[in-house]
Structure formats: structure tokens, C-alpha cells
Structure 1
Amino acid sequence: MASYLVPPSDHATYQNAKLAPSASTSEVSNGSSNGHSNGVHKENLNNPTVLPLSTLKRFQFAFLIRHPRRAVPSYYRCCVPPLNEMTGFKYFMPNEAGYRELRVLFDYLRDESVIKHTPTAKEHATNGVNGSNGHSNGTNGSNGHGEAKPYEVCVIDADDLLDHPKEVIQTFCEMVGLEFDEGMLEWSANKGCESFDKWKGFHEDAIGSSGLRPRTVKKVRDAADERREWVQKYGEEAAAMIEKTAEENMADYEYLRQFKINI
């Protein structure tokens, strides 16, 4: 949930993030280097998040992305009747799409060598991916326990997960150091749904399902067909907002997608 870590574009701290009170007793923004309170020092000079870099280094990150023309209308549906009676989200805010925040977090972690991208042979042939060479020699060691190598970038596209669930989950497990088990692809309907209590209404399809299986039919629709569907469901004004929001986030999605796991 990168939106919890990076201030939204309409927030006062958008260009000058402040550490969360629970992460620091200092009120000095990350852009200052003189506080030296609870990790607020020069390492956080360019930190766009609300957590100190030393805290971010403790985690292994994975990024799940989805095409904006799928994700934005899905989110809009959660913000209007009847579903918003369950979600509690009474209106749609375009800047909550989250793609910008995800990219900002992703780039910061790469710049600080918390994660790295190792180009494939194909990418080497085309001079790498957006200058990723040079981001792989840093360290993410912290807390005085020596240096650790950066984690390999782990980006999963939702379409790949739906088309090739077993292969994607296997690759994910390999990347994060987990042992793959076939049971990861199966579960009982409604099992563990209490974990989603804070997000009632947002995960109903997943909660009511019983596993991940390759989808047998993949809808292929052009932009005009999608727009007509949005107009039919939500009206012309809402359809225009959905389309505008999707287009505004397309560049960030495509940027992140170039780093995705390839099956």
C-alpha cells in the first residue's frame, strides 16, 4: 500500500514528506539533516516516504500492478452505491489510484539499493531498462549487522497472475526465499476473511473464491467498448472521469510493468 507511505499529490507534504510520528519523535521533515532523531539524518535527505530509510531496509518488497483500465473502474465501483455502503468510501478520488506513489517508492528503493534490477539477456541487448545498470552495487544492510545485497526487483502484473497463477507464484517464492507448495493455489471459500475486515467490500470476489486457476477466457475489448460499458453502468460523467484517471496513470503503470516477472 504505497499510498500509506508516500503523501498524495494534493497533500501539504507532497514535495516534503515528514516522518510518521510513530517512526520519529522529531517534527523535522525528511528533507532536513540536522535532527538526527530516531533515524532522521542525512540518509533521509531525499526520502519521499513517511518511514526512515533504515526501517524500509528491513523489508523485502514485492509490487503487484494492474492495468489502469481494469483497476480504476474496479475502484470506482467500490466508491458508489450499492457497494460503498459496505466499503464506507462515499466518493471517488482520482489521486487515490496509487500508481504515482508506487512508482515513487519503487524508484527510491532502487536509488538506495534496497532493491535492484538485473537486466535479462534481451534487455542487455537493448542497453538495459531505463538506466537500471548501476543500481545493483549498493547495500541494504542495517542495524549494524553487516552489509546485505539488494533484493532483486519483484514486480507482478495481475494479468500474468490470472493467466499463469502457478508459474507466477512459483517464481515469486523463488525470489523471496519461500518454498512453493501447491496448496498456495487453493483455499476454502471465506477462509481468513477476517483479515480483510478493514477493507470490507474491496475483496469480495477473492474472499468468495476457493483458489487461483488459469482463466480460460480473457476478455479482449477496445477502448470504445470499455467506455460504453462504463457509461452504461455509471453514466457519462463518471465514465469520463474513469477514463481520464486511467490515462493519467498509464505512464507510471507502463514504467513499472517493464520490470515485471516474465513467465
Structure 2
Amino acid sequence: MAVTDALQAKSAPAAPKRLLLVSVPRTASNLLLKILNVHEQPKLSTNQKGGYFFYPAFLSATQGGTLAKKPSEWTKEDRQKFKGDFQRCLDELEDHSARAQKDNKAMFVKEHAFWFVNPASCHRMRTGDVVDSFTDLRVRIPESYGPTQSYTHSNETVLSDEYLRSWQFAFIIRHPALAWPSMYRSLQKLAAEGFMDEDGVKGSSMSNMSLRWTRLLYDWCITQPDVPTPPPVVDAHDLIRNPEIVRKFCDQTGLDKEYLQFEWGGKDDHKKSDIWADEAGDEQRERHWRAACIMMSTLETSKGIVKDKAPESLDIAVETAKWKVEFGEEIAGLIEQAVWDSMPDYEYLKARRLTV
């Protein structure tokens, strides 16, 4: 059942102090940011990428091969590196947030759910193994968030309950039969450009092809005290087919509807030097820029919403036949399994999405 009109009809809240949009790759989250026009919202502060503060930790873990190993095989140095990478990401996020507060603005961040999940949880989900590495991978939370740091059952992140409660959450989802093959397709393009090898494509795909972490965070939100309504969930299909849903999203999050845009110039609106100004070194900046161009090619070459990215109906069996032609039997089978594994979480979240 969709969220009731009674829950959605409350008066618009004051702008949040901090808003965290939780996504997974290929869910049209960049389209949502484009429509929200986050960089032009006068009472909103974010970085040039609109978030992705935890991307460096995820990239380090995948490139270093640590995530491919069992937690029992992680060395002391592996664990220290994990924690150090996450800590640097959090510290940078807190620095940006402090500047936003000083400027009397709300902080906006988009993060893929998998990127700040405890790596030990990721291994447990993939293998079912019991692991004891959770505590030593959790980051140090500033004392301003309270004297205690707790982790309830549905909090599988490296961040404490007390810290997560300082954010207002929102979510974006997409049908797995659209998101997962799109993800694999994009990773193949990255591999062709030398960003990863075929094993990296397969590993990154299998790690990210899940809505499990999104659902856990949603469930965490609705069990927290003093939350007046469930956090808003946007389905990419509604975003593309009925973009007016964004106005309701603004009503629930306090963002300014006057700055929404549904058409744009059809070219990249950001200079590469601005987008990656916070990345170290020209070579790394150029590398990240090339990757971003691949991942955002449809959006950045469009002049508005591309409606054929949201077909009216989907038949997973029919789509699987197409994947076999495009990717081969093995990869098509992996994608199909990931789609079916994700459907219960997708249907659960879809039933709680914003509607108009």
C-alpha cells in the first residue's frame, strides 16, 4: 500500500538542518538532483558532486582488493585502512556541514547506501558467514553527538544511531530489472576505459546490485523516536513518468519548489575543474571526470527527462533473454538472480513511495 494521503498532506516543514538522500547506482538519483537544482537552491549547501563523501572509502576498498577477502583474512593493516578511509570521509563531511551551519544553510548529501555500510556486514550478506569485525571498523563520532554511541539491529553502517539521527533521510529506488543491467553496462564502459578489469566489473556489480541496505536504513528510520512521518521514497519510474512528484518531495523535505527545473541546456553544466576541485591532483581529477562522464552520459546530453528510460511494464523473463544476447549466459544469469533477490526489498519500498 502506498503512503497514505493523510501522511503526505501535512504542511511543508521548515528546511532541514541536514538532508541525506540514500540511493544506489543507476536509480536516476542524478536526475533527481538535476530537477531539484540543488546547487542553485539558496538555502542549501552541498559539495560540487552533490554528496558522494564516502566514495573514496568505497573506491579504496574495491581497488585494494580488501572487500574480496574474508574478514578472517583481513590483516590489522587492512582494518586500520578501512577505518581510516571511512574516518577521513566522515571528517570531510562534518567540515562541509559545519560550514553550512555557519552560513545558516541546510546541508544536502547524496550517498549510495552500500558505500557507508560496515564492510563486515557486506561479507555476511554475501556469504552468510558469522563475522566479528563490526566494532573495529566503526568510525569515531564527534563528542557533540552525545556521550554514547549505539548501533541498533537495522543499523549496519559504520555510523552510530546518534549520528544518523542528526540527518533527515530520503530515498530513491528503481526497478532492479532496469537498474542492475544498466549498472553492469556502465561498469563495462569503465572497464573499456581502463578503470577496472573484468573481475572488478563483476565484483562491483554483485556488491552494488542490492536494495538490502536501502531497506535496512528505511526500517531504521521508521523505528526512531520523534519522526513525524516516514521518510520520503521516490521511485525512478514516478520521477520520469510523473516528475511533479518532486514537488511533493519538496513539501516533505523543506526544499524550495521555486528552483525546480524540468528542462536544461543539453550539455554539461559544470566545468571539470569545478566538479573535481576537491580531488587531489590533475591526473586523478581527470580520471574521475572521465568516469563521471560515462556514468552520467544520458543525463548530461539530454535537454530534459527521457521518458523511455521508464517503460510502462517489465517482464523479467523477457528482459533476461535480452541480457543473454547482450552480456552472455553467465552474466545474464547473475543479473537475473540479483534482480529476483532484490524484488522483495523493491516491492516493500515501492509500497511506501510518494504518490500523487
Unaligned runs of 5+ in 2: 1-111, 277-287
Counterpart check, 1:53 vs 2:164: no
Q: Deviations over 1:169-200 (max 9, x none)?
A: 11111111122136422222211374484652
Residues 111, 15 of structure 1: CA spacing in aligned structure 2 closer, same or farther, 3 A cutoff? farther
Q: Is the 8 A contact 1:79 1:87 kept in 2?
A: no
1:39 Cα offset (Å): 4.8
Cα distance in structure 2, aligned partners of 1:60 and 1:217: 28
Superposed, which structure 2 residues align to 1:1-263 within 5 Å?
Answer: 1-7=112-118, 8-10=121-123, 17-18=134-135, 23-24=140-141, 39=146, 41=148, 43-46=150-153, 47-80=155-188, 82-86=189-193, 88-90=195-197, 91-93=201-203, 94-112=206-224, 138-139=225-226, 149-150=227-228, 152-165=230-243, 167-181=244-258, 183-188=260-265, 189-192=267-270, 194=272, 195=275, 197=288, 199-200=291-292, 201-212=294-305, 218=311, 220-263=313-356
Contact residue 138 and residue 159 of structure 2 kept, 8 A: no
Shift of 1:41: 2.8
Alpha-carbon distance between aligned partners in 2 of 1:163 and 1:176, rounded to the nearest angstrom: 21
Superposed displacement of residue 60, structure 1: 1.6
Q: Residues 181 and 213 of structure 1: is their aligned pair in 2 closer, same or farther, counting only changes over 3 Å?
A: farther
Alpha-carbon distance in 2 for matches of 1:61, 1:50: 16
> Within 2, Cα distance between the matches of 1:183 and 1:16?
44
1:178/1:239 Cα in 2 relative to 1: closer, same or farther (>3 Å)? same
Cα distance in 2 for partners of 1:76, 1:63 equals 22
Give the match's secondary structure for 1:63. Answer: strand
**Distance in 2 of aligned mates of 1:231 and 1:69:** 13
Query: 1:190/1:19 Cα in 2 relative to 1: closer, same or farther (>3 Å)?
Result: farther
Q: Which segments of 5 or more consecutive residues in structure 1 lack a partner in the other structure?
A: 26-35, 113-137, 140-148
Shift of 1:69: 0.6
CA contact (8 A) 2:114 2:213 kept: yes
CA contact (8 A) 2:175 2:346 kept: yes
Whole-angstrom distance in 1 between the partners of 2:335 and 2:134: 28
Residues 257, 217 of structure 1: alpha-carbon distance in 2 compared, 3 angstrom cutoff: closer
Q: Is the 8 A contact 1:62 1:153 kept in 2?
A: yes
Q: Could you tell me which residue of structure 1 aligns to residue 107 of structure 2?
A: none
How far off its partner does 1:79 sit?
A: 2.4
Give the CA deviation at 1:218: 3.0
What is the TM-score normalised by the length of structure 1?
Answer: 0.70
Deviations 1:9-34 (A, max 9, x none): 31699776447665349xxxxxxxxx
Q: Pick the structure with more helix per residue.
A: 2
Counterpart-to-counterpart distance in 2, 1:43 and 1:85: 43
Whole-angstrom distance in 1 between the partners of 2:230 and 2:152: 24
The count of residues paired between Structure 1 and Structure 2 equals 217
Aligned residue number for residue 12 of structure 2: none
The 10-residue stretch of structure 1 (175-184 or 206-215) with the greater mean CA deviation from structure 2: 206-215
TM-score scaled to structure 2, two decimals? 0.53
Partner amino acid, structure 1, of 2:156: P
Q: What RMSD in Å do the two structures reach over aligned CA positions?
A: 3.2
| Distance in 2, Cα, partners of 1:207 & 1:23 | 37
Taking the aligned partners of 1:39 and 1:108, their CA distance within structure 2 comes to 19
Percent identity, please.
Answer: 27
What is the rounded CA distance, in whole Å, between the counterparts of 2:255 and 2:165 in structure 1?
Answer: 19
Q: Kindly indicate whether structure 1 or structure 2 has the higher relative contact order, using CA contacts under 8 Å at least 6 residues apart.
A: 2
Provide the secondary structure at the position in 2 that maps to 1:64.
Answer: strand
Q: CA 1:14/1:76 → structure 2, altered by over 3 Å: closer, same or farther? A: farther
Q: In 2 relative to 1, CA 191–86 (structure 1 residues): closer, same or farther, beyond 3 Å? A: farther
Distance (whole Å) between structure 2 residues aligned to residue 96 and residue 176 of structure 1: 27
